[in-house]
Amino acid sequence: MNKEHELGAPPADTGAQAWETIYQADDAGWDLGEASPALMHLINDKLLPEPPQTVLVPGCGTGHDALAFAKAGYECIAMDFAPSAIAAAKKRAEDSVFTCIEADALAADNGVADDSVDIIFEHTFFCALQPSQREAYAVALARMIKTHGEVWALSMRTKFTNRQPYDSTPEEYVALMEAHGFTCIEQTAMEPWSHQRRKGRETLVQLQYQGR
């Protein structure tokens, strides 16, 4: 695995084939081989809305976070547009304990109905998008989430401005989402619970969707 990819890979574009090539080469350096320690803190300390809730994990990769949600009793949807990532997630799903969808999370026809998701957990997805795709990201999340549903996003600072993983501040993320009907509930520095590769760089941003 190329350690330069510790947070994400720098494909020439953000299309599915570029990411598929990385998964086929087993070079997905952002894959920790386990659920995010920050997510496990949220689950184990019961900080998330209690199940049953429908949770969407966009850009799920090989499904570690989705499996953690499912084991905690949530109805989880794992979504990625790289076929090899979804194939790995399906193997991890253990008798369909969570739903896997091979689709572009930003697409209107991605298989998730409007106003159908209670929680969206986002981790290393926003930073993998081109900055020009951020508006579409906010629109997609606002379409899929229920009114008063919540987004729990790990906003991660990086050193890159011209390739993945693209840097952004928690404040920039909040401003984008507030322009699309979300209200910021809380921001929390996650250093005590972050993976060692990401300590000091992750901020949990919790938002609630107020509706169109």
**Full pLDDT tens readout for the chain, 212 residues:** 344 444 444 454 567 788 788 887 776 667 777 899 999 999 999 999 999 999 999 999 999 999 999 999 999 999 999 999 999 999 988 777 999 999 999 999 999 999 999 999 999 899 999 999 999 999 999 999 999 999 999 999 998 888 888 999 999 999 999 999 999 999 999 998 988 888 888 999 999 999 87
Instruction: For residue 4, tell me if it sits in a domain.
Output: no
Q: Tell me whether residue 99 is in a domain.
A: yes
Domain assignment of residue 71, yes or no: yes
Q: How high is the pLDDT of residue 19?
A: 76
Say which amino acid occupies 62.
T
Q: For residue 182, is it left (φ>0), alpha (ψ between -120 and 50) or beta?
A: beta
| Helical H segments across 26-76, by residue range | 37-44, 64-71
pTM of the model: 0.90
The domain in which residue 182 lies consists of: 14-26+35-209
List, in sequence order, every residue forming a beta bridge with 188; answer none if it has no partner: 204
Is 168 contained in some domain?
yes
Four-CA torsion 198, 199, 201, 206, nearest 10 degrees: 100
Residue 103 maps to a domain: yes
Instruction: Measure Cα distances from 78 to 90, 97, 102, 121, 209 in Å.
Output: 9, 11, 9, 10, 20
Q: At what angle do helices 170-178 and 134-144 cross, to 10 degrees?
A: 60
Q: How many domains does the chain have?
A: 1
Residue 78 domain-assigned (yes or no): yes
**Could you tell me the CATH number of the domain that includes residue 128?**
3.40.50.150
What's at 186, amino acid-wise? E
Whole-angstrom distance, CA of residue 179 vs CA of residue 160: 25
Q: Which residue has the tokens 């949770």?
A: 55
The verdict on residue 5 lying in a domain is no
User: What pLDDT, on a 0 to 100 scale, did the predictor assign at position 13?
Assistant: 57
In-domain check, residue 149? yes
Burial of 71 (0-12, 13-18, 19+ CB in 10 A): middle
